[in-house]
Amino acid sequence: MPMGCYNKRPEETSDDFFVRIGNAVLARELTWDGASKVLNDELGKNFGECAYRKRFKAFRAGMQYQESLSNRDVGTCILSISDLHIPFQKPIETFGEYAGKIDILQVNGDLVDAQAISRFNKVYRKSPMEEILIARQYMIDLIEMLQPKKVVVNYGNHDLRFQNYLAKNLDTDLLELMPKTSLELIFVDGFNHYNKELHTKVHYDPLIDVFKDSGIEIVYNDTWFSFVGETIFVHPLAYSSGMLKTAEKAYRYFKDNDYFFDTIVMAHTHKTGHYDIGNSVIYEQGCCCETSKMDYADGKLTPSQREGFILVYQDKFGRLNEDKTHIVRLN
């Protein structure tokens, strides 16, 4: 590489320039003899290669120590996504940069939209079976890409549309044959697709079987919240339009019922934000769907939906590392 490439840049401090030249030596673009000549010429010094080499070695040791300090309190990295509302989900590539970098994938409810069986009017719709098939394949592809050690799932209000519809339209005795949500079919039980037109039956294994030999643990919590360490991921039926008011209600609920936690992560609201309350932190994590394709709030003059998800960092005891935990906003 031409020696002119190693001139000190106008925006560089002397330390920045020194580090850049030291890194060039590590990359074998320069020797320390050559580096000392460049540094002396540019900085007006007269040091030998040994002095620069020892200084750079000490600098690297300090950087490595600082990095170890910043990572010392991180025991678990949790990627929590929610409100995908399949078939309106964000593409899997949205989470591509976290492949191989997280310990737990947490799915905080409303994996499917269940649009066809909602009580609201619909102009078009996908059948529940279509949504389930899309959701199952989406989760397989996402887990294979991310390679977490564990997947933790709970349901949301849209997932419960499955049970609500069945309860309204079937005899009570028949409900004993049916799951509460389609998530049970996807993650735990598996299901058959009976194609009445083609007279075929196709069986789909549950994800606990799909990944049983992979070393990835699949945990489905048949309720609206999940505990991971001292963090509670929640997707309630309740909703308040005020910023963080739904999360605050969840905080009060778990406090009043003597749960021990240091963090609430709230799905459901399609909002983003956080604040400290008492000795805890509450977050609203946003939604992982294409909000432009959904018309829930058309003409209602409600605040815009916020797309996003959260990365929660915990120490080895499951306590929140607030400095590293952050919401990733998508719009």
Residue 165, Cβ density class (10 Å: 0-12 exposed, 13-18 middle, ≥19 buried)? middle
Q: Name the residue with tokens 């991971």.
A: 228
Distance CA 57, CA 272 (A): 43
The tokens for 17 are 């320039």
Distance CA 95, CA 152 (A): 17
Question: Does residue 31 sit in the same domain as residue 101?
Answer: no
Residues spanned by the domain of 37: 3-71
Considering its fold, how many domains does the chain have in total? 2
Is the Cα dihedral 11, 14, 16, 19 positive or negative?
positive
pLDDT score, position 175? 52
Question: Does residue 121 sit in the same domain as residue 56?
Answer: no
Distance CA 289, CA 311 (A): 17
Write the pLDDT tens digit of every residue in 155-181: 987 777 655 544 555 556 555 556 678
Cα 258 to Cα 204, 254, 283, 320: the distances in Å are: 40, 6, 20, 19
**Which of 12, 44, 71 is the C-terminal boundary of a domain?**
71
Q: What is the phi/psi pair of residue 224, to 5°?
A: -95, 5
Question: Does residue 243 sit in the same domain as residue 308?
Answer: yes
Helix (H, G, I), strand (E, B) or coil at 315: coil
Question: Does residue 136 sit in the same domain as residue 235?
Answer: yes
Question: Does residue 47 sit in the same domain as residue 153?
Answer: no
How would residue 28 be classed by pLDDT, with cut points 50, 70 and 90?
Answer: confident
**Which of 50, 71, 92 is the C-terminal boundary of a domain?**
71
Question: Does residue 151 sit in the same domain as residue 62?
Answer: no
Residue 220 has pLDDT above 80, yes or no: yes
Helix (H, G, I), strand (E, B) or coil at 151: strand
Residue 45 has pLDDT above 90, yes or no: yes
Distance CA 102, CA 80 (A): 10
Helix (H, G, I), strand (E, B) or coil at 38: helix
Question: Does residue 8 sit in the same domain as residue 144?
Answer: no
For β-strands 76-81 and 104-108, DSSP reports them as: parallel
User: Which domain CATH number covers 224?
Assistant: 3.60.21.10
Q: Name the residue with tokens 């070393």.
A: 215
Mean pLDDT computed over 27-52: 93
Name the residue among 181, 173, 177, 102 with its Cα closest to residue 142. 102
Helix (H, G, I), strand (E, B) or coil at 310: strand
Question: Does residue 67 sit in the same domain as residue 77?
Answer: no
Q: What is the phi/psi pair of residue 225, to 5°?
A: -145, 160
Question: Does residue 149 sit in the same domain as residue 58?
Answer: no
The tokens for 29 are 């673009």
Of 61-75, 201-215, 238-252, least confident by mean pLDDT is 61-75
Question: Does residue 26 sit in the same domain as residue 127?
Answer: no
**Which of 38, 71, 104 is the C-terminal boundary of a domain?**
71
Question: Does residue 57 sit in the same domain as residue 108?
Answer: no
% of the chain residues with pLDDT over 70: 83
pLDDT score, position 136? 96
Question: Does residue 127 sit in the same domain as residue 34?
Answer: no
Write the pLDDT tens digit of every residue in 107-161: 999 998 866 444 444 545 677 788 889 999 999 999 999 999 999 999 987 777 6
